[in-house]
Structure 1
């Protein structure tokens, strides 16, 4: 039952009917619901064709006719409030379920009147819940004002949208709330401004965008202190943010819009960001165009259509359960009871309903985040499931007065209060009080200024910063670097620490290096640059200040592109996940309890620190040092975190096995996480420690990480959780686990209580882990083992140095042959790609420079080049003067990938050389000329003293000709290379034409311009 023509309604037929039909079609194939049953969907209009709006009388007639002649089992819609009120009463009387994503009015919360209504979309009550949390956060507990547009005809959308905020603040928070309607007549707007002056400072305005902007224009001219106001514009479908600045939707005659809109916030629904919703939107728009000839632009109104889809699925789930229990298909009371307090994962993300069958909704809060351009940004969002506001780590509110305004400033609303009248104090009393206050203020101010200056000095000093050249690295074995062999803890070298692989099973090895002679762990960050905002500097400063035995020590960070990384204390025993998965390590329960206690201590400290929570707690982020002390790592620095996995990748879901269900709502949950989410993660780690069967082990089920995450996210009872086994661990530990992974975050204990509980659970393990393991370590360590290890390390160090020298002279595979005592035979390769480059004008530059300057230039340049080519499957053949020769496809063949590797390397080198600075000629641009050719070659080792790996064949000559006939700062490519690159489909090449080549005649050549940005490569 929907309006069929008027598209202004979010629940208009062309928007909603395609969604319902899509849900109907997906029931069997996708959701596996009501198999073997047929559902007939019929549509009736509730629109008055004479005026083109919702009509209560028409809805009543349609409902009664449908009941008499069709005998429906359920109603979907109406969406408009007045028609829904009438049909809702009929449906409750007939005991038929009515599902709608419209009807946001507060009155539908009355269960005794609307017993069978299920609201799968937003409601004004839930907006009121957001307002309650917002006022609590800013300590606005006295007064507020609600202004709404109301013409008292049609469906009065702004009245019903604002009533939840009005009633919730008034009834639940006991706040004095003033309400004032307004109409389209501009002459009444001045009375509104006077009303705002006299009655409130925290103001909610709900009305058409044009009327809101007219009010704000008058507000700008009449209000002298806009910084003392906070105005929230209720624009749930974000129409005012289409241009990023609300005032740009009106005539450009504002005096200074940025000044007045600094105090204006915009409240919108939160658009789902899950892959299912994006796919649903595309299908919805295509179907609306196909079936109704209506072109729909992407907007938040699609959220309403998606909510109708989810409402249909929710109804089908409840109906199937009712039928399974022997109920009737039209038993609305039974069906709607089963939709209460429900959780499911739909196209709009997580759908949760309360005991009144109203859906919990998420809300976005927007504010002016760029005070120069006036651009609005998302500063916070409200999670309706957890009833928490999550504040952005990057976008901040810039209050005009430095902080939120007072909702009840003194002597403004109650000027007759005796406390506001002038008193009479003796002159000496006034002087004494004033002097005392002045001294106190001076003392406090001096202290605060000192602290401020000290903080600013620390921030400006950036003591945390480490330059990339300050780090020293060993040369790791390339096989391990590329393939990642699975080694035990006893086999692990010092070049790698532990990480989870894409399959969530095996351990790879994280990079380590030396900083000031100490071995450190290096975590690379996949970001092009880090913007050093004040918030980031503060976080880095606090990271450096952390000194706790169960948190890894933050050494510093490198922000030099492309080597952005975090440097922390290195723990040689590996991660907790490594230890648990290493079956050769026997863990008794004394040891396990010690590890658990270390986690609890670390998390309890973290939760009471500046950081507040971890956000990414898992067993691979718990590392063990040489003294068997467990330390938590990867905390803080939310701005450094990034994810490179695809939305549907195995690795992404494997990392989400520790994530709490309320955080699985979003594709990318807040990086800072929540404290209750950390407790849930701790519960999963407890099960790992207890059973040693990997994260989220479920007995008797072989599920992929994606399947596990989807089951947890769906939230269907009984809630999906890992297996517990009292035969393997104590019943008390089972109770703790189940408490930690409770579905309701409020039911989970905090780490303070967990610490107390663990102390009672493990009374004999109260001493430190070092003392607990002392006797065992004495058995493992003796003088002979120490001597053997010392001699072995000395031998391995010398062997490593010799191998590194050999690897620098010859390719890895050739060096391995020589190490095995084999003769290296010359070999023919059918297809390789060769790169040549030189510097245009190098001869004249050399003549104008000293020999030392030339050496320094080439050393800087080739050091830079060598660092870049390490990222590609290539081999540097040689450098002669300014000439640089690289090949891919030998000595290890790589199919046709050699052309791709050389092309990617060439683009990277060309990009780097554009920013390369010549020390003695900083204003000169280095002009690199590159040539590439693909073809067959022969290669082998030549000579005994200073042996060289050389390439022979016409391909080498042709590649050299490609370079010499090229142009500065361009990549010259032959036809042979172009043919191979075309097979990859994402390189941008431009025909140069036929070029005369010495000894070759005319050759058709191309310029390699870059990679196509609109092509996705899998």
Structure 2
């Protein structure tokens, strides 16, 4: 017997523990081997019994559906949450776009309105403000289009510009414009505060600058403006315009009357943006004396020829060159044109200022470069005009020892004070001399009378 291993297949029918006994006889020797086997039923998916080897993956019918994995929950829930959040923010922003609206009382614009108040718009949304706008102190009997009049909003003085419109619709375009303007924040921009949309009292409310427009300051001979002030004004305008252009916004109406000076002698740009808001008003003003042919003074040749509109960076630079002439000559070209009519053709430009070289405060520190900057800015070739970033660098080079307007004003006041002290001392000395003469005369007269 050479075979060592035998294999025999035995079918076990009964479930449970079954003993398998193998009887072996070798010669006269007998041996019995016993093995106990647990017999289970065959696994069948669908018998409503979740067997040991069955799971939700291979037999969901018996073991149920597997729970969703955390990663899948996040993958589904995160986009849904973002969509819902975006929708809510869109609704809030669309409603909040009306927060600039201010209702303006009729009497405020009809004259002598010491008791009329501007009130914020009331609506069903949460954008309404609880504080009322206080008194609007307009004293003119008429509100002329294109002119700025003061008012008081939320306890502070504001500039109110009336807009000529027969109808007004708060469209998506206007909401977008207002949103863009409200986001602008620069020390050389007059801050937009709000506006009225009530016909016929539509207006734009902006930051108020008490010194008036740049044209007013330049024409006021009582204000001593040295070249430090003039270059400071030119630099302030360049900085404000560079900021506007960085935000893809162009002015289109830049001139010395749209540049205002605050109480710290900082020049700020006003009347920018909101093209749709003031569209009809611009059309009305274009037919008036001030903004008809005279506005051609600030318009570049390509605009006058109709090759492009006024809302371009190059057109703003051209208008800036005219302001540089006004700053140098302390003149207002519009006022001059009223008294001395000029022939305004497409190629017209004012003469270059005749600047005197010297080291005194009344002399231009670098008259050659200043005139060269003017010529570059009003070049008939659009591509050769510098950007306002380049203009800023040129002005900084002309005025390396720049002093703040407040410090310059303090220096002027100190000089004036010293000059006044000298005058007072001189007058006092003259008075003493006259008194001595009078005393001698009285003494000699008394001696004569005594004899």
Q: TM-score, normalised by structure 2?
A: 0.60
For 1:723, which of 339, 352, 373 is the aligned residue?
352
For 1:639, which of 260, 276, 287 is the aligned residue?
276
Number of the residue aligned with 2:102: 466
Task: Give the C-alpha shift of residue 609 in structure 1.
Answer: 1.6
How many positions carry a matched residue from both structures?
309
The answer on whether the counterparts of 2:147 and 2:162 sit within 8 Å (CA) in structure 1 is: no
* Structure 2 residue 87 is matched with structure 1 residue 457: no
The answer on whether the counterparts of 2:106 and 2:201 sit within 8 Å (CA) in structure 1 is: no
Number of the residue aligned with 1:769: 405
Instruction: Give me the whole-angstrom Cα distance separating, in 1, the residues matched to 2:147 and 2:334.
Output: 23
Structure richer in strand, relative to its length: 1
Q: TM-score, normalised by structure 1?
A: 0.28
The answer on whether the counterparts of 2:148 and 2:162 sit within 8 Å (CA) in structure 1 is: no
Task: Give the C-alpha shift of residue 745 in structure 1.
Answer: 1.1
Instruction: Give me the whole-angstrom Cα distance separating, in 1, the residues matched to 2:353 and 2:214.
Output: 19
Q: Which has the higher contact order (CA 8 A, sep 6+)?
A: 2
The CA deviation string for residues 249-280 of structure 1, in whole angstroms up to 9 with x for no partner, is xxxxxxxxxxxxxxxxxxxxxxxxxxxxxxxx
The answer on whether the counterparts of 2:215 and 2:331 sit within 8 Å (CA) in structure 1 is: no
SS in 2 for 1:770: helix
SS in 1 for 2:284: coil
Instruction: Give me the whole-angstrom Cα distance separating, in 2, the residues matched to 1:777 and 1:724.
Output: 28
Alignment map for 1:539-558 (pairs within 5 Å): 539-558=177-196
Task: Give the C-alpha shift of residue 455 in structure 1.
Answer: 4.7
Which segments of 5 or more consecutive residues in structure 1 lack a partner in the other structure?
1-434, 478-493, 503-507, 782-1018
Instruction: Give me the whole-angstrom Cα distance separating, in 1, the residues matched to 2:395 and 2:177.
Output: 31
SS in 2 for 1:756: helix
Task: Give the C-alpha shift of residue 629 in structure 1.
Answer: 1.1
The answer on whether the counterparts of 1:661 and 1:743 sit within 8 Å (CA) in structure 2 is: yes
Number of the residue aligned with 1:197: none
Task: Give the C-alpha shift of residue 760 in structure 1.
Answer: 1.1
Instruction: Give me the whole-angstrom Cα distance separating, in 2, the residues matched to 1:496 and 1:670.
Output: 37
Instruction: Give me the whole-angstrom Cα distance separating, in 2, the residues matched to 1:644 and 1:472.
Output: 22
For 2:175, which of 517, 537, 540 is the aligned residue?
537
Task: Give the C-alpha shift of residue 441 in structure 1.
Answer: 11
Number of the residue aligned with 2:296: 656
* Structure 2 residue 356 is matched with structure 1 residue 735: no
Alignment map for 1:306-455 (pairs within 5 Å): 450=85, 453-455=88-90
The answer on whether the counterparts of 1:459 and 1:541 sit within 8 Å (CA) in structure 2 is: no
Task: Give the C-alpha shift of residue 776 in structure 1.
Answer: 3.6
Alignment map for 1:854-865 (pairs within 5 Å): none
Instruction: Give me the whole-angstrom Cα distance separating, in 1, the residues matched to 2:112 and 2:291.
Output: 24
The CA deviation string for residues 655-702 of structure 1, in whole angstroms up to 9 with x for no partner, is 3311111112349x846x111100001110000000123228999xx9
For 1:604, which of 225, 235, 242 is the aligned residue?
242
Query: Are residues 732 and 476 of structure 1, via their aligned partners in 2, closer, same or farther at CA, if it must alter by over 3 Å?
Result: farther
* Structure 2 residue 158 is matched with structure 1 residue 523: no
Number of the residue aligned with 2:228: 590
Alignment map for 1:686-765 (pairs within 5 Å): 686-695=324-333, 704=341, 707-708=343-344, 711=345, 713=346, 715=347, 720-727=349-356, 729=364, 730-765=367-402
Query: Are residues 647 and 773 of structure 1, via their aligned partners in 2, closer, same or farther at CA, if it must alter by over 3 Å?
Result: closer
Query: Are residues 590 and 686 of structure 1, via their aligned partners in 2, closer, same or farther at CA, if it must alter by over 3 Å?
Result: same
Task: Give the C-alpha shift of residue 759 in structure 1.
Answer: 1.2
For 1:618, which of 252, 255, 259 is the aligned residue?
255
Query: Are residues 776 and 653 of structure 1, via their aligned partners in 2, closer, same or farther at CA, if it must alter by over 3 Å?
Result: same
SS in 2 for 1:513: strand
Query: Are residues 495 and 649 of structure 1, via their aligned partners in 2, closer, same or farther at CA, if it must alter by over 3 Å?
Result: closer
Query: Are residues 597 and 534 of structure 1, via their aligned partners in 2, closer, same or farther at CA, if it must alter by over 3 Å?
Result: same
Instruction: Give me the whole-angstrom Cα distance separating, in 2, the residues matched to 1:598 and 1:448.
Output: 44
SS in 2 for 1:656: helix
Task: Give the C-alpha shift of residue 773 in structure 1.
Answer: 2.9
The CA deviation string for residues 940-984 of structure 1, in whole angstroms up to 9 with x for no partner, is xxxxxxxxxxxxxxxxxxxxxxxxxxxxxxxxxxxxxxxxxxxxx
Task: Give the C-alpha shift of residue 536 in structure 1.
Answer: 0.9
The CA deviation string for residues 191-249 of structure 1, in whole angstroms up to 9 with x for no partner, is xxxxxxxxxxxxxxxxxxxxxxxxxxxxxxxxxxxxxxxxxxxxxxxxxxxxxxxxxxx
Instruction: Give me the whole-angstrom Cα distance separating, in 2, the residues matched to 1:693 and 1:679.
Output: 19
Instruction: Give me the whole-angstrom Cα distance separating, in 2, the residues matched to 1:666 and 1:597.
Output: 30
Query: Are residues 586 and 474 of structure 1, via their aligned partners in 2, closer, same or farther at CA, if it must alter by over 3 Å?
Result: farther
